[in-house]
Structure 1
Amino acid sequence: MSTTREHASRTYCTVCGTMVSRRFRPGPDGRPDATCPRCRSLERHRFLALLLGMLAPDLRDLDLVVEIAPSRQTTPMLDRLGARRRISLDAGYDSRDVDALASVCRLPLRDASVDLLVCYHVLEHVPDDCAAMREIARVLSPDGIALLEVPIRVGVGTDEDVDAPEEERLRRFGQRDHVRWYGDDIDDRLSAAGLATVRVTPPALLGDAAVRWFGLMAGEVVWIARHGSGAAPAMLAGGPGTGLSVALDALITDLDHTRERLDRARARADRVAAQRDALRARLDRTREELAVARRGGVLTRLRRAVHL
């Protein structure tokens, strides 16, 4: 069986479709195996690519896709969905390239007009996050889907303080521009805003082998939200997996074994090639020695003939 370290050396980026022969590079905060060396995607981008693929049957014939606070990794993924319209929005606190400046608490969109909305790591910045959640519910079409991600601590309630100074925010929430760290009550907040949700994590959806293979974070949580209220049973790390996770575990394990056999065959081929090169070098030296010896013999006979 392959070890975790061996798995980590064989990774695939779902964003740019590149097989990474070595480990992913460290992330912005120094966490290991986070960044794709080619497209610079992080774990959340790679999981989003997989989620979009799994939701493909629900993402056909899209009219409007909205991304709040886009990234250069996620925008091409959403473009590939083939929606008739795609709009990117941001509040304008940084130099992010967007179609329009707008607050998530006041989206410039018609009611029930959005078929897919992606809002990753935004709500923890927003003082009135409940207003933002209500706006997301308002603009979703009857069959629309919202993919939401926020930092969360399981087993505790939400810790928030919109008036805290920057240094206290850094200490309590991990960043100076965060105003909360979500807890178990986030599902109640989303439900009160008119959103029915299910939490998903990479291990529960894909299996542990896929988490290593695709360079994901086992503890990452994404909320899949639709119109309604309440929360469906969560697909969390450590919980029961899906048939897909079992199949991927088996497939990736078999693929690892195949790669290991291929690596051993390549190593044997390299050794044979090295032995062949060594034999050729010895043969070349022998030929040179024979040629020198022959030339020496001819000269000796000539000298003898001259002295006669």
Structure 2
Amino acid sequence: MGAGEIHYCTVCRQLVKRPFRPGPNGRPGARCPRCRGLERHRFFALLLDLIGPQLTHVETVLDIAPTPQSISCLSALEPSRYLRLDLGLDNRLVDALGDITRLPVRDACVDLLVCYHVLEHVPDDHAAIAELARVLSPGGLALVQVPIRFGTTTDEDPSAPEAERVVRFGQADHVRYYGDDFEDRLARHGLAFHRILPADLLGPALCDYLKVEHAEPVWVVRRGPAPVEPVAFPGLISLHDAMLTQLANRTRERDRARRRVEGQRPPRPLQVRIADRVRASVRARRS
């Protein structure tokens, strides 16, 4: 983030004037200096706001491999039951320990399920996807994200050594890198979906302002053959582009006015400047 740039973090809901910090693998400008949220967390928070009208009757939320950012966003929905679940291999804040291939919840009871960057860790992802389908309520939604390379088929090998996994899949604890057939895997287990790209929903200018990756997709998933309605808001992109243009113009006007004021300030009197130098010299000798 350049000097003087301001961005808005949708997770901590704050204007951020400090530079965003590097993310995993040194990715520049990824992590919010306030809440430590990454690009995917910022789009997740925004997506929850946008699909809010569909979440008016959320009773049970299941957050698989929760993060501080997802906990903050999902807690704001005030669900009757919020279950945070993980294997327990690190220090995540969870309510229960469990395996995504054997979720410890009954059939058709989850109204909102979050599964972000989990399936690429799971050797038997078909069993995991089947569990997502099993626990979703008839009107429930799942928000799913995986690392994916479009234009390829899934590359996977759970038996590959760690060094090879880093090269092929991006991390030592990943067992695959998804390709175009990821959506076939969802459909095979009776899940309907709609793929959302941040740039398609928000436009490039707003993605840049919110520090969101343009082409990092999220799948909105439901049970059943009926297609998921697209998340779309006609005119949203043009509205935000106009707002951002106005904000940029006002920022430039403010900066020009500040420079004019600073240029009009009278020089400090010679006696004051000499006194400052004497005091600085005395401090230097004492140290």
TM-score by length of 1: 0.82
Cross-structure match for 1:289: none
CA shift, 1:171, in A, is 1.4
1:15–1:39 contact (8 Å) kept in structure 2: yes
Question: Aligned ranges for residues 204-283 of structure 1 at < 5 Å?
Answer: 204-229=200-225, 242-272=234-264, 274-275=265-266, 278=267, 281=269
Deviating more after overlay: 241-250 vs 38-47: 241-250
Question: Structure 1 residues 88 and 245, CA, compared in 2 at 3 Å: closer, same or farther?
Answer: same
Deviation by residue 1:166-212 (Cα, 9 ceiling, x = unmatched)? 12111111111111100011111001111111111111111111111
CA shift, 1:32, in A, is 0.9
Partners of 1:113 and 1:179 lie apart in 2 by 29
Match of 2:151, SS state, is: coil
Cα RMSD over matched residues? Answer: 2.4
Deviation by residue 1:99-158 (Cα, 9 ceiling, x = unmatched)? 001011111111111111111000000111111111111111111110001000010111
Task: Provide the identity percentage.
Answer: 51
Partners of 2:229 and 2:141 lie apart in 1 by 17
Question: Structure 1 residues 126 and 254, CA, compared in 2 at 3 Å: closer, same or farther?
Answer: same
**Letter of the structure 2 residue corresponding to residue 164 of structure 1:** A
Cross-structure match for 1:101: 97
Match of 2:259, SS state, is: helix
1:8–1:215 contact (8 Å) kept in structure 2: no
Partners of 1:212 and 1:7 lie apart in 2 by 15
Match of 1:142, SS state, is: strand
1:149–1:223 contact (8 Å) kept in structure 2: yes
Unaligned runs of 5+ in 1: 286-308
Query: Over alpha carbons, which structure has the higher Rg?
Result: 1
Task: Pick from 79, 82, 85 the counterpart of residue 86 of structure 1.
Answer: 82
**Letter of the structure 2 residue corresponding to residue 15 of structure 1:** V
Partners of 2:25 and 2:272 lie apart in 1 by 56
Instruction: Give aligned pairs, total.
Output: 273
2:222–2:228 contact (8 Å) kept in structure 1: no
Unaligned runs of 5+ in 2: 274-287
Cross-structure match for 2:152: 156
Match of 1:29, SS state, is: helix
CA shift, 1:270, in A, is 2.5
Deviation by residue 1:43-91 (Cα, 9 ceiling, x = unmatched)? 1111101000001101113111110000112101100001111000001
Question: Aligned ranges for residues 109-258 of structure 1 at < 5 Å?
Answer: 109-229=105-225, 242-258=234-250
Match of 2:244, SS state, is: helix
Deviating more after overlay: 71-80 vs 20-29: 20-29
Question: Aligned ranges for residues 55-66 of structure 1 at < 5 Å?
Answer: 55-66=51-62
Task: Pick from 34, 40, 44 the counterpart of residue 36 of structure 2.
Answer: 40
1:191–1:228 contact (8 Å) kept in structure 2: no
CA shift, 1:258, in A, is 1.6
Partners of 2:228 and 2:197 lie apart in 1 by 14
**Letter of the structure 2 residue corresponding to residue 14 of structure 1:** T
1:50 matched to 2:46? The reply is yes
Partners of 1:63 and 1:19 lie apart in 2 by 32
**Letter of the structure 1 residue corresponding to residue 248 of structure 2:** D
**Letter of the structure 2 residue corresponding to residue 247 of structure 1:** L
Match of 2:37, SS state, is: coil
Match of 1:248, SS state, is: helix
1:188–1:230 contact (8 Å) kept in structure 2: no
